[in-house]
């Protein structure tokens, strides 16, 4: 920029400001005169009705009474010049001291002059109020020109202040009129019906996902204690964080074969009818890669066949199952040959035990049920399905899966959650039932096809899914790119904390959406004329992303962008409420 440019701009600005101030003063003066006129004229009219010796009082007499230049200039003595009419009253004197004049005029008119004079002075003082208008005029235009460059929102997703979002939510809560306490993040209250349209929390490690989830869990538990709504919480916990903060040994359940406190369980508890063999086998054997699907389908068939065999043979302990599938192929095949024809279709996959195909399939079968090794001595009557069906059962279920060993139990945990979700989906509709699924690090599980169903139709069952993950990448890997979008879109409420991964930031920027605004742009023309440069404003319609990817990458810890569909996008602070740990996060059991 050249040196004179700022000078010209400054001068142009100064000139415009002076112009604006002058205009405000002109308005002020005009208004003052008008005010004075209306305040003073009635009093003056009254004076004109007064007479002295039968002669009406004149305006020039009032002027002489009120304004004396000699007096103002401190000339002694200050005199008043009398006209011929007045000279008659004052015995022919041509001029008299102003003090005498005032004295006699008031004496003869019963103080009418003094009163009018006082009223004039009051009117004069009051008329200065006119300048508040000048001030207002200035403020109005200063403010207007400051806002002039702001964008005007037309359509799309708008960013609103958190107070406004909170207000809207509170109004919705009021309209809903449930007598049940609402879940809230600070002042942001979640309407009861919105719970079943699900929550997604995304954020890098240490940004506050856990802090947010813990606050929600605590409030749900408090609500459970005071208002019987048949609520359950199913928590998937990779760190034992939820167990340590929320597990109540007197009424909750831990499901984790490595933990002393775990319930006893048996997979046959989940088989209630013939089709369940298929469902269970399918749930355990989902391919991680579509290219491997054939192999996983074969493994699934073999596993199902084995289950049917075990059931028919009455060998239904965990040990039976583990030992059966640990056999070598040859023996397994021989035993299965004994099945009825309709049940042994899958034998063809392992018909030739010496081939690679058979070996591959068996290794897949075994890989997914490794965890049975740790279930052999903890058979028990617990059934995930019955737990969900039992509306009187208000226990929370902790699906613990300590990170160090999480690979071993990944199939079991995926299976357990899948089974629970399926059972939830088969419950009768009940809008005010609540089954919360708190799934931290959802990306650490295999694909849960049932989860997409629960997201879309779970509301009628009262299911509320609260998912947390570090990024979208793992979800895309597990569910596929297009499914990841569906996945994201099915969460009505999103809390987005700081995102480190650029792809996720880009994904979110796109997903949050665009807005159309009218943008005003200032332009300047430089001239050398004595009036300096001039300015102009132009308007353009623009479509832009509401939030840029980089904005997600710079969110401080314990802050979030919150998006609630149909309510708006805002910025929220997660309250710094941390709960103490009351229980061991994990108690490794001893193995014989
Ligand atoms: N008890 C506590 N006292 C003080 N600060 C805490 C406490 N617990 C958590 N924090 C703070 O809150 C922040 C978020 O922690 P949080 O456990 O919620 O992270 P996260 O997003 O769940 O990360 P991760 O992916 O590692 O689980 C941390 O940076 C930490 O500084
Ligand atoms: Mg966490």
pLDDT digits (tens, 9 = 90+) for 209-257: 999 999 999 999 999 988 876 789 999 999 999 999 999 999 999 999 9
Query: Which ligand number lies closest to the CA of residue 208?
Result: 1
Cβ-proximal residues to 395 (8 Å cutoff; 6+ apart), any chain: 232, 251, 252, 253, 387
For ligand 1, the distance from its centroid to the CA atom of residue 117, given in whole angstroms, is 77
Length of the chain equals 592
SS3 letters for 191-255? Answer: CHHHHHHCEEEECCCCCCHHHHHHHHHHHHHHHHHHCCCCCEEEEEECCCHHHHHHCCCCCCEEE
Query: Which ligand number lies closest to the CA of residue 577?
Result: 1
Position 146 in a domain: no
Cβ-proximal residues to 54 (8 Å cutoff; 6+ apart), any chain: none
Three-state SS at 390? coil
Spatial distance between the Cα atoms of 182 and 215, rounded to a whole number of angstroms: 12
Which of the listed residues 374, 403, 434 is the one where a domain comes to its end? 374
Claim to verify: residue 364 and residue 293 sit in the same structural domain: yes
Position 154 in a domain: no
For ligand 1, the distance from its centroid to the CA atom of residue 150, given in whole angstroms, is 37
CB 216 within 8 A of CB 553: no
CATH of the domain at 370: 1.10.8.80
Is the Cβ atom of 578 under 6 angstroms away from ligand 1? yes
For ligand 1, the distance from its centroid to the CA atom of residue 214, given in whole angstroms, is 10
Position 586 in a domain: no
Residue nearest to atom 25 of ligand 1 (CA): 205
Spatial distance between the Cα atoms of 404 and 300, rounded to a whole number of angstroms: 27
Residue nearest to atom 24 of ligand 1 (CA): 205
Which of the listed residues 114, 132, 150 is the one where a domain comes to its end? 132
Claim to verify: residue 211 and residue 274 sit in the same structural domain: no
Q: Which residues pair with 440 in a beta bridge?
A: 468
Residue 91 region by backbone torsions, left for phi larger than 0, else alpha for psi between -120 and 50, else beta: left
Spatial distance between the Cα atoms of 529 and 129, rounded to a whole number of angstroms: 40
Position 585 in a domain: no
Position 584 in a domain: no
Query: Which ligand number lies closest to the CA of residue 209?
Result: 1
Claim to verify: residue 178 and residue 81 sit in the same structural domain: no
For ligand 1, the distance from its centroid to the CA atom of residue 211, given in whole angstroms, is 6
Claim to verify: residue 436 and residue 537 sit in the same structural domain: yes
- Give 239-299 as a DSSP string: SSHHHHHH--TTT-EEE-TTBTTBPPB-GGGG--STTHHHHHHHHH---SSGGGHHHHHHH
For ligand 2, the distance from its centroid to the CA atom of residue 160, given in whole angstroms, is 28
Pocket perturbation via mutation, ligand 1, pick of 201, 210, 439, 474 by most ligand atoms within 8 A of CB: 210
Query: Which ligand number lies closest to the CA of residue 245?
Result: 1
Is the Cβ atom of 205 under 6 angstroms away from ligand 1? yes
Residue 236 region by backbone torsions, left for phi larger than 0, else alpha for psi between -120 and 50, else beta: beta
Position 420 in a domain: yes
Which of the listed residues 347, 374, 401 is the one where a domain comes to its end? 374
Claim to verify: residue 347 and residue 406 sit in the same structural domain: no
Cβ-proximal residues to 47 (8 Å cutoff; 6+ apart), any chain: 57, 62, 112, 113, 116
Position 70 in a domain: yes
Residue with tokens 């009117």, as numbered in its chain: 123
The pair phi, psi for residue 458, each rounded to 5°, is -70, -20
CATH of the domain at 228: 3.40.50.300
For ligand 1, the distance from its centroid to the CA atom of residue 226, given in whole angstroms, is 29
Q: 467: buried, middle or exposed (CB in 10 Å: 19+, 13-18, 0-12)?
A: buried
Pocket perturbation via mutation, ligand 1, pick of 200, 202, 209 by most ligand atoms within 8 A of CB: 209
Residue 336 CA from chain centroid, whole number: 57
CB 266 within 8 A of CB 316: yes
The pair phi, psi for residue 411, each rounded to 5°, is -65, -40
**Ordered mean pLDDT values, 10 residues apiece, the chain (592 residues):** 72 87 94 94 91 88 91 88 86 89 92 93 94 93 82 83 96 93 96 96 96 97 84 95 97 95 96 96 90 94 96 96 94 91 89 88 94 94 97 94 93 97 96 94 91 94 96 90 89 96 94 87 70 72 91 96 93 97 94 74
For ligand 1, the distance from its centroid to the CA atom of residue 205, given in whole angstroms, is 8
Spatial distance between the Cα atoms of 304 and 309, rounded to a whole number of angstroms: 9
Residue nearest to atom 14 of ligand 1 (CA): 208
Claim to verify: residue 397 and residue 336 sit in the same structural domain: no
Give the atom of ligand 1 at the shortest distance from the alpha carbon of 205. Answer: 25
Pocket perturbation via mutation, ligand 1, pick of 207, 212, 401 by most ligand atoms within 8 A of CB: 207
Q: What share of the chain is helix, strand, coil (3-state, %, to 5)?
A: 55, 15, 30
- Give 420-440 as a DSSP string: HHHHHHTSPP-TT--EEEEEE
Residue nearest to atom 1 of ligand 1 (CA): 578
Query: Which ligand number lies closest to the CA of residue 204?
Result: 1
Claim to verify: residue 103 and residue 220 sit in the same structural domain: no
- pLDDT at 530 (0 to 100): 60
Claim to verify: residue 413 and residue 511 sit in the same structural domain: yes
Tokens representing 329 are 């192929």
Pocket perturbation via mutation, ligand 1, pick of 201, 205, 206 by most ligand atoms within 8 A of CB: 206
Pocket perturbation via mutation, ligand 1, pick of 201, 211, 467, 575 by most ligand atoms within 8 A of CB: 211
Spatial distance between the Cα atoms of 187 and 215, rounded to a whole number of angstroms: 13
Number of domains in the chain: 3
Residue nearest to atom 26 of ligand 1 (CA): 205
Give the atom of ligand 1 at the shortest distance from the alpha carbon of 578. Answer: 1
Give the atom of ligand 1 at the shortest distance from the alpha carbon of 203. Answer: 21
Claim to verify: residue 399 and residue 480 sit in the same structural domain: yes
Position 554 in a domain: yes
Give the atom of ligand 1 at the shortest distance from the alpha carbon of 470. Answer: 25
Q: Residue 548: which of 500, 520, 494, 508 has the closest Cα?
A: 508
Claim to verify: residue 478 and residue 356 sit in the same structural domain: no
Q: Helix 406-425 crosses helix 276-284 at what angle (to 10 degrees)?
A: 140
Claim to verify: residue 356 and residue 306 sit in the same structural domain: yes
Query: Which ligand number lies closest to the CA of residue 206?
Result: 1
Three-state SS at 301? helix
Identify the domain containing residue 367 by its residue range: 268-374
Spatial distance between the Cα atoms of 535 and 214, rounded to a whole number of angstroms: 55
Claim to verify: residue 422 and residue 563 sit in the same structural domain: yes
Is the Cβ atom of 557 under 6 angstroms away from ligand 1? yes
CB 398 within 8 A of CB 235: yes
């Amino acid at each position: 920029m050249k040196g004179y440019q700022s000078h010209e701009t400054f001068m142009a600005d100064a000139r415009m400001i002076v112009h604006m101030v002058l205009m405000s003063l002109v308005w002020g003066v005009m208004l003052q005169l008008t005010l004075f006129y209306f305040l003073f004229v009635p009093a003056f009219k009254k004076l004109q009705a007064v007479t002295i010796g039968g002669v009406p009082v004149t305006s020039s007499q009032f002027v002489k009474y009120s304004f004396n230049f000699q007096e103002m200039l401190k000339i002694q003595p200050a005199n008043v010049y009398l006209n011929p009419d007045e000279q008659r009253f004052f015995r022919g004197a041509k001029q008299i001291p102003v003090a005498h004049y005032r004295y006699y005029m008031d004496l003869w008119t019963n103080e009418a002059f003094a009163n009018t004079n006082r009223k004039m002075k009051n009117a004069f003082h009051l008329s200065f109020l006119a300048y508040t208008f000048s001030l207002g005029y200035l403020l109005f235009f200063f403010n207007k020109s400051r806002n002039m460059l702001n964008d005007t929102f037309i359509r799309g997703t708008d960013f609103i202040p958190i107070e406004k979002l909170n207000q809207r939510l509170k109004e919705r809560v009021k309209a809903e009129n449930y007598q049940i306490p609402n879940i809230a993040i600070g002042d942001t209250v979640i309407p009861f019906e919105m719970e079943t349209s699900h929550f997604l929390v995304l954020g890098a490690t240490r940004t506050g996902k856990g802090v947010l989830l813990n606050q929600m869990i605590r409030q749900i538990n408090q609500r459970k204690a005071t208002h019987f709504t048949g609520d359950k919480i199913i928590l998937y916990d990779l760190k034992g964080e939820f167990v340590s903060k929320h597990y109540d040994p007197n009424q909750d359940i831990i499901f984790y074969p490595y933990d002393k406190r775990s319930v006893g369980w048996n997979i046959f508890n989940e088989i209630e009818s013939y089709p369940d063999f298929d469902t269970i086998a399918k749930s355990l054997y989902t391919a991680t890669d579509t290219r491997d699907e054939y192999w996983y389908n074969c493994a699934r068939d073999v596993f199902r066949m084995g289950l049917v065999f075990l059931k028919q043979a009455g060998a239904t302990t965990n040990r039976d199952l583990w030992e059966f599938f640990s056999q070598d192929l040859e023996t397994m095949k021989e035993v299965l040959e004994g099945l009825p024809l309709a049940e042994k279709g899958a034998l063809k996959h392992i018909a030739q035990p010496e081939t690679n195909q058979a070996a591959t399939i068996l290794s897949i079968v075994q890989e997914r049920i490794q965890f049975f090794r740790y279930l052999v001595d903890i058979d028990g009557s617990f059934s995930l399905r019955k737990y969900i069906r039992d509306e009187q059962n208000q226990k929370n279920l902790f699906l613990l899966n300590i990170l160090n060993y999480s690979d071993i139990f990944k199939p079991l945990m995926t299976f357990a959650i899948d089974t629970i979700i399926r059972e939830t989906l088969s419950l009768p509709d009940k809008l005010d039932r609540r089954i919360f699924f708190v799934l931290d690090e959802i990306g650490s599980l295999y694909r849960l096809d049932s989860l997409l169903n629960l997201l879309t139709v779970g509301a009628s069952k009262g299911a509320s899914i609260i998912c947390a993950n570090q990024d979208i990448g793992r979800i895309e890997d597990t569910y596929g790119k297009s499914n990841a979008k569906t996945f994201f879109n099915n969460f009505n409420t999103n809390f987005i904390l700081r995102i480190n991964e650029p792809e996720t930031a880009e994904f979110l920027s796109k997903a949050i959406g665009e807005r159309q605004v009218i943008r005003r742009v200032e332009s300047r023309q430089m001239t050398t004329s004595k009036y300096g440069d001039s300015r102009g404003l132009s308007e353009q319609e623009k479509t832009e992303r509401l939030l840029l990817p980089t904005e997600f990458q710079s969110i401080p810890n314990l802050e979030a962008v919150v998006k609630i569909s149909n309510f708006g996008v805002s910025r929220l602070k997660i309250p710094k409420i941390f709960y103490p740990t009351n229980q061991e996060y994990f108690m490794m059991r001893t193995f014989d």
